[in-house]
Structure 1
Amino acid sequence: MLKTNKLFFGGDYNPEQWSKDVWKQDIQLMQKANVNLVSLGIFSWAKLEISDGDYQFEWLDEVMDLLHASGISVDLANATASPPAWLSSKHPEILPVNFDGIRLEFGGRQAYCAASTVYKQKAAQLTEKLAERYAKHPAVVMWHVNNEYGCHAPYCYCDASRDAFIGWLKNKYTSIEELNTSWGTDFWSQRYYNWEEIPAPKRTPDGTHPNPGAQIDYRRFTSDITLDLFKTERDIIKKYDKVNPVTTNFMSMKFTHAMDYFAWAKEVDFVSTDHYLAQHDIENHIDLAQMADLTRGFANGKQWLLMEHSSSAVNWQPRNYAKTPGQEKRNAMSFVARGSQGAMYFQWRQSQAGSERFHSAMVPHAGEDTRVYREIMELGALLNEHPDLANYETARADVAMVYDYEQMWAMMQDNLPTEDVSYPETVAAWYRALYKEGISVDFVSADVDLTTLKGYKLVLMPMVHMLSDPQEQVFTNYATNGGNLVVGYFSNISDRTLRVKLGGYGGALVKDVIGVYVEEFYPFREATVELSNGYQAKLWGELSRLNGAELVAEFKTGQALGSVAIAKRKLGSSTAWYQGTELTDDSQRAFFRGIAADLGIQATGLESTEVVKRGPYQIEIDHKANTVKVTKS
C-alpha cells in the first residue's frame, strides 16, 4: 500500500524535450497548480547513456535539484522502457519477433524481447547506475520501473523466447508426457517426444491455429518472463534504497490483456495504473469506474495510484475527441473516490514533436491561458484541500465480481462456438448494469479464497470459462454455505489446461449445485430473442433443461425455444442463479435489480450519479449535471 499524508498531483515530466528556460517556467506553473509529484526519466535512456557505457547524468542532476528546491517530489524511473538506437543497432537480436516471424524495427518504443540476454544486462546496468546515484536524493519518494509493460510488443517469438518458453514448460510440467496430456497433442498428430521439438506457437497454415494449450501457456509464460524483468530491476533498486517504494504502472483498460495484473500486484510495493478513456463512448465514465474498481481489486482493496490519464484528448484513437468542460475534474475524482492516492497525467507539458505531439497535457501547446490549464489548477486546489483522504480505503462493496486475465486469454482464441461473444464486453455489460442501479462492485480473481468470498452478499461469475477443481470447490463451498452466486454462460467449461469438462457443460457447479443440465451451445442467428418474464437476450443460447433448479426464464423464440435461459436454486439460506445467455442491457439491469432487492443490497447513486464512500468522506459525482461534491462526516 502507498502511504502518504497527501494526495499526489502531477504527471510525467520530460525536461529533456525542452530548454532550461522552459524548466524554470515549468516549475512556476507546477507550483501555481499545486503539483507535488512528477514522474521523471521514463523515456530518457538515450539521454542517460549516449553510447555503450557512456552515462550522462548531469542534466538529470540539475532537474532533480531544481524540483527538490521547489518542493516537488520525484517518482524516478529507471528509463528501461525504450532502449536507445545505438543498442538495437549494435545488437539487433534484442528486437522482438512477431506472430508472423517478422523482426520488428527500432523507431517506436518497447522494442525489446523480454528473453534477450543483452537487453536484460544493459537494463540492469542502467538501473544500477541510477539507483546508486539517486537512492539518497531527497526529491525521490518512489521508483518507477520501465513503463506499461506489455503494451506494444508483449509476445516475442524469436529463438531466445522459444528457448525460454521450453525452460518455463520444464518447470511447469513434471514430464513431456504430462505436457502432451495437458495440451491434448494426440489431436492432429502433435505429440512431442522431447522438449526440443516444441515450437513457439507462431502462425500455422491457413485455416489452422496453434494448439490451444500451447497458446494459453505462451501467454502465461510471457506474463511471467516479463514480470521477471521487473523483479530483477526492482531488486537492484532495493539494494540501494530500502525506504522508498518501487512500482510499475499497469494499464487498467478494457483492451489491455497481456500481463496478469493480479499476479503482478503481489510483486509491487504499491499498485499504480494508467487509464485512458474511449472518448467515442458517451458512457465512458462507467468504463472509468469499472477499471478503477478493478485496479483496487489488484490492490486487494487497499489504496493505489493513478499514474497516468489524460487532461483532454489522446493521440491514438481513430477520432481523438477533447474532453468537455468539467469532464476532467469528474474523471479524476472518480479515480480518487475509488481508491487512488491522487491524480497523475501523461504528461506535464504537451510535446512539440514526436508521435504524441497531439496528446493532451497539463500545459497545452497554447500555454497557461487555456481551459485545460485552468481546470488543472482547479483540480489541484481541490486535491490540496483534502489531503487526509489518502488515509482511508474505499468502502467495501456488497457485491464481488470475478475477473481473471486467463479467461480473457482463453476467449481470445479461435475455434470457439461463436466469435460474437467477448469476455471483456460481457464483464463490462454486467458492471454497467450494476453501476446504473447504483450498486458498488469489488473485483476478485478466480484464485480468491473462501474467507474473502464470505465477506460479500453476492458473487458474480461472468463467463469464467476455466476453473481448476480446487477453484470450482471454493465457489461451490461459498454457494452452499450461505453465499449468493450468479454464474454466467460459457463458465466452468474447462479446467485450466483448456480440457473440456465432460458430462454436461458448466461442470458440477452448474449441473449439480445450481441444477441446470446444458447439452449444446446455440449461438443466435437472430439479433435478439424473447425470453419469458419480459427479458430479452442476444448472442447466445443453449439447449438445456432443469436438473433440480427452478426456472426463472426460458427461451420463447429461436433455436433454443423452451430451453432454460435463467434458473435459480435455493441452497439453504442462500440462492444460486445460472444465466445461460447474454441479456440486453435493460434486461440485465432488471435481473440484477431483482436480485439486489431479494438480498437487501442497497443502492447509493443511480444512472449518471455515482456516490462513493472513502472513510468519513463521501464523493458524489453527477455526470449529467457536471458536478463534483466532496463532503466529510
Structure 2
Amino acid sequence: MRRTFQWPAVLSPAAPSQDPHSNETESNGNHPTPSAASRRNRIIFGGDYNPDQWPQTVWDDDIRLMREAHVNTVALAVFSWDRIQPEEHRWDFDWLDLIIDKLGHAGIAVDLASATATAPLWLYEAHPEVLPRDKYGHVVGPGARQSWSPNSPVFREYALTMCRKLAERYGRNPYVTSWHMGNEYGWNNREDYSDDAQRAFRDWCRRTYGSIDALNAAWGTTFWGQEIHDFDQVLIPRYMGADAMVNPGQQLDFERFGNDALLDFYKAERDAIAEICPDKPFTTNFMISTDQCAMDYAQWAHEVDFVSNDHYFHEGTLHLDELSCSDALVDSLALNRPWYVMEHSTSAVQWKPLNARKRKGELTRDALAHIAMGADAINFFQWRASAFGAEAFHSAMLPHAGEDTALFREVCALGKTLDRLADTGLAGSRLQRSDTAILFDAQSQWATRSQTLPSGKLDHWHDVRDWYQAFLNTGMRADVVPLAYDWSGYHTIVLPTVLMLSDADTRRILDFAQAGGTVVIGYATGLVDEHFHVGLGGYPGAGQGLLRSMLGIRGEEFNIIGPQADGDADAIALTAAEAVSDPTNSHTTATSRLWQNVISVTDPHAQTLAFYHGDAADDWDLDGVPAITRNRAGKGIAYFLGCDLDVNDLTTFIRLNLDATSAPPNPDVLHTVRIGDTTAFDFYFARGKQGAKISQVSGEPLVIFRGSPGSNTGSYTLQRNGVLITMRNLTTPCADE
C-alpha cells in the first residue's frame, strides 16, 4: 500500500542552462529542481496539451498565450504512443524533447503521461489478441481510447516498455514534475470478456477464495444447479440469453475483478517508472461525478501520491450542488489533503445528447468551487480546441475563435485570480470537516445494477447526491466518505441505499451509535452482505440481524410502485405520527414514489415518526404502517427511513431531526472553509438563480466575483454564479449567514 503524499512542483520562470535530457546528477549547480517553496505555495493551473495535433509553427504561440493565461502546468503525451513509437522498433522523442524544453524554459511544468491510454495501430495489427471483448463475444475494435485488455500479458509488456523508455528519457528532466499514468482507466475496458480475462478471473477466484467450496458458498451455486467442482470451471458472466439473470454473487465478483485488474495494470505501469524514477509523484485521473464512479476509488486512492479527478458538470439546478457533492468524496479519498482537478471543461462538451454551454460566470465559479472543496490544481481538457477528431467540438481554454474571445479572457482572469489566492497562502490549506458523513460504497453502487433486485431503479450514488443537496437546502453541508474509511469522528452518518453491508461494517455502525453517534439508515440499506446473500429473519438483515435490532424494527416485504401499473397508485403519502391520533390535524408530510418497506416496530423504546396514510396507502394495505422510526442505540440514536423520499422531503426530515444549529444558516449559499496554519479562508457561493445576500462576514475580502459589498459592514450581495472569498485569522468567527 503506497499512500504517500507528494505534490507536483511548479517551475520558476527562470530557465536552467544545462541540457535537461542529460543523465548527469542534479547537484551540479546548473540544473536546479524547483524549490520546496514552490511545491507548497502555488496553485497548479493548466490543462491537457496536445501539441502533436498541431504543426510546430503553432507551439510558440501556444506558449505565449499560456503565459498570458498564467498557465504553470500542462499534461503532455496522454495519447501520444503512436508519435513516440511510430513502429515497433523505431522511437521518436525529438518532438517531445523540443516541446518539453520550450515549456520548461517558459516556466511551465509538465505532468508527463505514460502515453498508454491508446496503443498505435501497428500493435493491434501485429497482436489483435490484445483487444478486449464484450459480453457477446464481439471484439472491441481499435480506433477509440482504451481499446485494450488489461488482462493481456502481450499488451502489458508493450505498455511497460513504453513506461521504461519514458522514465529513462525524462526521469531526471527538471521540467517533468509528475507522472500521469494512463488516462481514465476503465473508460472503454471496464468489463473485459476476452479469453485472457477468463484465465485471469479464474486466478483471481483462486486467490480470493482459496478453495472451491468457499467459492460455491459465496456464490450460492446450489441455486439453479450451478455448482462448480474446479476453478477451471469458473466462467465470466458472458451473455446467457435475453431473459437470463446472472448469478448476482458471480456478477459482483466479476465487477471486483475488473476493478482489480485495472488497478493492477496501473500499479505495474507506475512501478516500471518508479524503478527508474522514484522521486517524482505519481497519479492517475479518477472519474468521479454523481453520474459515474466506475472504480472502487477507495482502493485506488491508496496507490497514488496525490489524488486526481476528472469532473464534468451536470446541467441545470444540480450544477453547483452536484460538483460539490462529487468533490466532497474526492476530498475524503485524498484524506483531506490537497487534490488535483485533472480535467474539467471551460464550457460545453460534445458527448452528451444535448451539450449546454456554461452560463456567464460558470467557468470561474466552477473552478473556484473546486478550490473551495480542497483542490489545489485546476486543469481543463484541453488547452487548444481540436480542429478535428471525436472531440473537436469540446470546449477548451483557447477556443476555435482564438484569443480575442470572452472565453479566453475569462481563462486569463481566472489564472490571475488563482495566482492572487496562492500569494495569500491558500495552497496547502485543508477543507474544514462537517459534522455529518454521507457514506458511499462503490460496490453497493455496482450491486444496485443487479437485475435480481425488487426494483431496477435503485441508484446508491444518486441517493447520496440527493441527501447531499438536502443538507445544502438546510444551510448545512455534509461530507461524503467511503464506507471503507474511518468515519468514527463524525457526529452523524447517513447510509442511503448502501445495499450491501458486511458483518464487520454493520458492527462498526452499531459501535458508532452506541458511542453516542446518530445513524440514519435508508430504505434499501443492508439488504445483502458482501456476497449478495440476503440476511434472514426480516429486513434489513445485515450483520445477522444486528442492523435490524439496532433500529428496533422488522421488515416483512417491499412494496414497489410506479407509473407502469395502470390503475394503481404511483405515490403513497406519509403523515406525521401525531396526526394519526388527531385526524383534524392530519396532513401529508412526505410522499414515496418507488419503494416502501412493510415493517413493524419490535423494540418498545422505538418511536414511529411517520406512517403511511391515505387512500393509496390503504389500497396497498399500508395505511397505518410505520414509515419513519427512531430508536435509542446505546448513547446514540438510530433513524430508519423506510421509503424513498425526494430532496424536499429529505430536507424537511433533516430540519426536524438532524439540525442542531442554534441559528438557521442561509440555504441560498454554499459555504465552505479551508484551514491553514494560522489562517482560514471562507468561500461563499450563490446556489440559486436569484443570487444571495450574506451578512456579518468577517475577514479580508480576497475575491468578489459577480457580487458587491452591501451598505453594512460585512454584508455582500452575490449575483447568480457569484463567489465571495475572504481571509481571516483563526481566532475570527465565520459569517452569520
Shorter-chain TM range is: over 0.9
Alpha-carbon contact 2:81-2:115 (below 8 Å) kept: yes
Query: Percent of pairs identical after alignment?
Result: 36
1:74 counterpart letter in structure 2: V
TM-score (normalizing by structure 1): 0.97
The count of aligned residue pairs is 627
Match of 2:379 among 333, 337, 344: 344
Alpha-carbon contact 1:142-1:245 (below 8 Å) kept: yes
Separation in 1, partners of 2:657, 2:73: 44
SS in 2 for 1:343: strand
Q: CA deviation at 1:206?
A: 2.4
Separation in 1, partners of 2:600, 2:58: 70
Within 5 A, what are the aligned runs for 1:255-334?
A: 255-279=291-315, 281-334=316-369
Match of 1:515 among 542, 552, 571: 552
Alignment of 1:19 onto 2:79: no
Deviation track 1:155-184 (CA, whole Å, cap 9, x = no partner) reads: 110111010000000000021111111101
- Give the direction of change, closer, same or farther, for the CA distance of 1:605–1:165 in structure 2 (3 Å limit): farther
Larger Rg: 2
Q: Which residue of 1 aligns with 2:409?
A: 374
Alpha-carbon contact 1:398-1:601 (below 8 Å) kept: no
Q: CA deviation at 1:541?
A: 0.5
SS in 2 for 1:262: helix
Alpha-carbon contact 1:2-1:303 (below 8 Å) kept: no
Q: CA deviation at 1:129?
A: 0.3
Q: CA deviation at 1:570?
A: 2.2
Match of 2:670 among 571, 592, 610: 610
Separation in 2, partners of 1:602, 1:128: 59
- Give the direction of change, closer, same or farther, for the CA distance of 1:375–1:604 in structure 2 (3 Å limit): farther
Deviation track 1:431-456 (CA, whole Å, cap 9, x = no partner) reads: 111122222222222223xxx43311
Alignment of 1:455 onto 2:517: no
Separation in 1, partners of 2:624, 2:560: 15
Q: Which residue of 2 aligns with 1:555?
A: 612
Q: Which residue of 2 aligns with 1:482?
A: 516
Separation in 1, partners of 2:462, 2:446: 14
Q: Which residue of 2 aligns with 1:434?
A: 471
2:667 counterpart letter in structure 1: L
Q: CA deviation at 1:604?
A: 5.4
Greater Cα shift, 524-533 or 207-216: 524-533
Q: CA deviation at 1:495?
A: 1.1
Alpha-carbon contact 2:450-2:456 (below 8 Å) kept: no
2:237 counterpart letter in structure 1: P
Separation in 1, partners of 2:79, 2:538: 52
Alpha-carbon contact 1:151-1:256 (below 8 Å) kept: no
SS in 1 for 2:101: helix
Match of 1:566 among 617, 628, 631: 628
2:448 counterpart letter in structure 1: M
Within 5 A, what are the aligned runs for 1:113-124?
A: 113-124=149-160
SS in 1 for 2:378: strand
Alpha-carbon contact 2:282-2:305 (below 8 Å) kept: yes
Within 5 A, what are the aligned runs for 1:196-235?
A: 196-235=232-271
Q: CA deviation at 1:468?
A: 1.1
Q: CA deviation at 1:601?
A: 8.2
Q: CA deviation at 1:492?
A: 1.0
- Give the direction of change, closer, same or farther, for the CA distance of 1:605–1:43 in structure 2 (3 Å limit): farther
Q: Which residue of 2 aligns with 1:545?
A: 600
Within 5 A, what are the aligned runs for 1:71-90?
A: 71-90=107-126
Q: CA deviation at 1:255?
A: 2.9
Q: CA deviation at 1:461?
A: 0.5
Deviation track 1:24-43 (CA, whole Å, cap 9, x = no partner) reads: 11111010011001000000
Structure 1 residue runs without a partner (length 5+): none
Alpha-carbon contact 2:337-2:428 (below 8 Å) kept: no
Deviation track 1:37-61 (CA, whole Å, cap 9, x = no partner) reads: 1000000001000011311000000
Separation in 1, partners of 2:378, 2:103: 19
Q: CA deviation at 1:493?
A: 1.0
Separation in 2, partners of 1:256, 1:445: 15
Greater Cα shift, 20-29 or 164-173: 20-29
Within 5 A, what are the aligned runs for 1:570-589?
A: 570-589=632-651
Deviation track 1:276-302 (CA, whole Å, cap 9, x = no partner) reads: 0132x3321111111111111211222
Separation in 2, partners of 1:461, 1:412: 18
Q: CA deviation at 1:573?
A: 3.6
Match of 2:205 among 169, 173, 195: 169
Alignment of 1:530 onto 2:595: no
1:363 counterpart letter in structure 2: L
SS in 1 for 2:395: coil
Greater Cα shift, 422-431 or 331-340: 422-431
Q: Which residue of 1 aligns with 2:683?
A: 619
SS in 2 for 1:88: helix
Separation in 2, partners of 1:55, 1:567: 67
Q: CA deviation at 1:603?
A: 6.6
Q: CA deviation at 1:464?
A: 1.0
Q: Which residue of 2 aligns with 1:401?
A: 438
Q: CA deviation at 1:325?
A: 1.2
Q: CA deviation at 1:602?
A: 7.5
Separation in 2, partners of 1:48, 1:603: 59
RMSD: 1.4
Separation in 2, partners of 1:215, 1:622: 43
1:487 counterpart letter in structure 2: I
- Give the direction of change, closer, same or farther, for the CA distance of 1:184–1:251 in structure 2 (3 Å limit): same
Q: Which residue of 1 aligns with 2:18?
A: none
- Give the direction of change, closer, same or farther, for the CA distance of 1:604–1:305 in structure 2 (3 Å limit): farther
Greater Cα shift, 63-72 or 198-207: 198-207
Deviation track 1:134-159 (CA, whole Å, cap 9, x = no partner) reads: 01111111110000001122111011
Separation in 2, partners of 1:273, 1:453: 22
Separation in 1, partners of 2:598, 2:335: 38
SS in 2 for 1:242: coil
Greater Cα shift, 421-430 or 496-505: 421-430
Alpha-carbon contact 1:604-1:610 (below 8 Å) kept: no
Q: Which residue of 1 aligns with 2:733?
A: none
Separation in 2, partners of 1:437, 1:80: 46
1:620 counterpart letter in structure 2: Y
- Greater helix content: 1
Separation in 1, partners of 2:171, 2:253: 38
- Give the direction of change, closer, same or farther, for the CA distance of 1:390–1:399 in structure 2 (3 Å limit): same
Q: Which residue of 2 aligns with 1:501?
A: 535
Deviation track 1:497-521 (CA, whole Å, cap 9, x = no partner) reads: 0011100111234421110111111
Greater Cα shift, 505-514 or 291-300: 505-514
Q: CA deviation at 1:217?
A: 0.3
Separation in 2, partners of 1:561, 1:420: 24
Separation in 1, partners of 2:662, 2:510: 22
Separation in 2, partners of 1:443, 1:212: 27
Separation in 2, partners of 1:53, 1:18: 25
Separation in 1, partners of 2:140, 2:427: 43
Q: CA deviation at 1:465?
A: 1.1
Q: CA deviation at 1:239?
A: 1.6
Q: Which residue of 2 aligns with 1:595?
A: 657
SS in 2 for 1:169: helix
Alpha-carbon contact 1:421-1:539 (below 8 Å) kept: no
Q: CA deviation at 1:342?
A: 2.2
SS in 2 for 1:535: strand
